[in-house]
C-alpha cells in the first residue's frame, strides 16, 4: 500500500494524519489512537527524518491511557510496525511523512 502524507496505523485501519511536524503531536492529534481503547498497548512514533524529543506531558498522557511509546525515525517506525504486526502484537504507528 502507498500513501502520501502522514498516517496513523491503528487496529481499525490506516488513516490520514494531519500532523506534518513533531510539534503537531498532541493529545488531540492522537485522539483516534486513544479511542481504540485496549486494542493498542504500544505506539511507534515516527518523527520524520530525525528522532525528536517527546514532551513528558505527552508521555504521561499515553501512559495514563495504557499505551507505551517508542520514538524513532519514520522509516524505522514503519519497519518495526510491520514486524510487530506480523507477530500479532497490539501496536499502532503514528508516522510523520518524510519529505
- 89-94: average pLDDT: 98
Q: Reply yes or no on whether the pLDDT at 93 is more than 90.
A: yes
| DSSP SS3 for 97 | coil
pLDDT at 2: 67
Confidence of residue 1 (pLDDT cuts 50, 70, 90): low
* Residue among 16, 18, 34 at smallest CA distance from 92: 34
16-68 pLDDT, tens digit each: 999 999 999 999 999 999 999 789 999 999 999 999 999 999 999 999 999 99
pLDDT at 37: 78
Q: Which CATH superfamily is domain 7-95 in?
A: MTH938-like (3.40.1230.10)
The count of other CB atoms within 10 Å of the CB of residue 99 is: 6
The count of other CB atoms within 10 Å of the CB of residue 68 is: 14
Q: Reply yes or no on whether the pLDDT at 3 is more than 80.
A: no
pTM value is: 0.94
Amino acid at each position: 500500500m502507498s500513501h502520501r502524507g502522514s498516517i496513523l496505523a491503528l487496529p481499525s485501519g490506516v488513516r490520514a494524519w494531519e500532523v506534518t511536524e513533531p510539534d503537531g503531536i498532541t493529545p488531540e492529534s492522537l485522539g483516534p489512537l486513544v479511542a481504540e481503547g485496549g486494542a493498542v498497548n504500544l505506539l511507534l512514533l515516527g518523527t520524520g527524518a530525525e528522532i525528536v524529543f517527546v514532551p513528558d506531558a505527552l508521555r504521561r498522557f499515553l501512559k495514563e491511557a495504557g499505551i507505551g511509546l517508542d520514538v524513532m525515525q519514520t522509516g524505522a517506525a514503519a519497519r518495526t510496525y510491520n514486524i510487530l504486526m506480523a507477530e500479532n502484537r497490539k501496536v499502532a504507528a503514528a508516522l510523520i511523512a518524510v519529505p
